[in-house]
Copies of this chain bind each other. A is one copy, B any other.
Amino acid sequence: MTYNHEKIWLSIDCLVFGYDVKDENLKLLLFERKVNPFAGSWSLIGGFVNVNEDICHSAERVLKTFTGLEDVFLEQLHTFGKTERDPGGRVVSILYWSLIKLDDIKKDIVNSHGARWFELDKLPNLILDHERMVNLGVSQLKKNAISSPIGFELLPEKFTIPQLLRLYEAIYNRSIDDRNFRKKILSTDILIRLNEKDKTNSKKGAYLYKFNEENYQRLKSEGYHLDIAIG
């Protein structure tokens, strides 16, 4: 016992955003809380930090436990520490967020673990300060989609420009001019066009692109800023 001070419960909460290119909707993963207080209510996925565990590993563990997912985008957002935030005791909670490219496989994995996807504008009431956490996450999403091409975390490896556009429209909840968007995003040299087309949405087919990891990292470090025109 090197330090002589009182200790505190430390927890992780995790905002899991998912995007499905098929139905073009942003979703949030929620879980039916099993422990009291508030057992049975909807909440973010979460759990306690163990003493012998890095907090980033706690977050990975929580995500894995509740969703089966691993090796996905997972980042710390903010720490919530009001004394009265949890009536069950003094718990300080570190909020993480994860961005998931939804496909049927991932949807199934998640469902089999008892969590459920909700559309962002159809969320149920949430326990504790979880609503504040959601708001923080949504505003971070908007902020990040401008200042770094974080949108890519939500799309499959190969995607079309129209798909990317519709993701941005879902994040900003408004329409965006497709011609200007295309020009802007292509001018960043962040996309690599493949010799493949996706024909699920049109007869002509849309070119598939992948993501230039190198240029992405460069832009990120140089402090890139993508302004998106209102359509």
Is B8 touching A90 in the complex (CB atoms < 8 A)? Answer: no
In this complex, the member of A36, A37, A90, A146 whose beta carbon has the largest number of chain B beta carbons within 10 angstroms is: A90
How close is A143's CB to chain B, nearest CB, in angstroms?
A: 7
Nearest CB on B from A15, distance (A): 15
From 39 to 77 in chain A, residues with beta carbon under 8 angstroms from any chain B beta carbon are 48-56, 58, 76
Q: A54-B82, A81-B56, A92-B49 are in contact. Are A7 and B10 (CB under 8 A)?
A: yes
Is A10 within 8 A of B91, CB to CB?
A: no
Question: A34 in the interface, Cβ–Cβ < 8 Å?
Answer: no
B223 close to A146 (CB less than 8 A): yes
Give the shortest distance, in Å, between A60 (CB) and chain B (any CB): 13
- What's the nearest-Cβ distance from chain B to residue A6, in Å? 5
Q: A79 near B: Cβ within 8 Å?
A: yes
Docked Cα-Cα span, A52 to B82, in Å, equals 9
Complex alpha-carbon distance, A147 and B147, angstroms: 10
Question: Residues of B contacting A53 with CB < 8 Å?
Answer: 83
* A5: interface (CB < 8 Å): yes
For A52, the chain B residues whose CB sits under 8 A away are 83, 90
**Smallest distance from the beta carbon of A192 to chain B beta carbons, Å?**
27
Nearest B-chain residue to A94, judged by Cβ: B79
Q: Is the CB of B3 within 8 A of A88?
A: yes
Contact across chains for B89 and A3 when beta carbons are under 8 A apart? yes
Query: Contacts of A82 on B, CB cut-off 8 Å?
Result: 54-55
Contact with B along A77-115 (1 / 0, CB 8 A): 011011100001111101000000000000000000000
11 further A-B pairs in the complex, CB-CB below 8 A; given A2-B36, A3-B91, A6-B50? A3-B88, A6-B48, A7-B7, A7-B9, A52-B90, A54-B83, A55-B79, A55-B81, A58-B81, A146-B223, A225-B225
| Contact sample, A vs B, 16 pairs, CB 8 Å cutoff | A2-B88, A3-B89, A3-B91, A5-B9, A6-B48, A7-B9, A10-B92, A52-B83, A54-B81, A54-B82, A55-B81, A56-B81, A76-B78, A76-B79, A147-B147, A225-B225
> Can you list the 3 inter-chain pairs with the closest CB atoms, starting with the nearest?
A55-B81, A7-B7, A2-B88
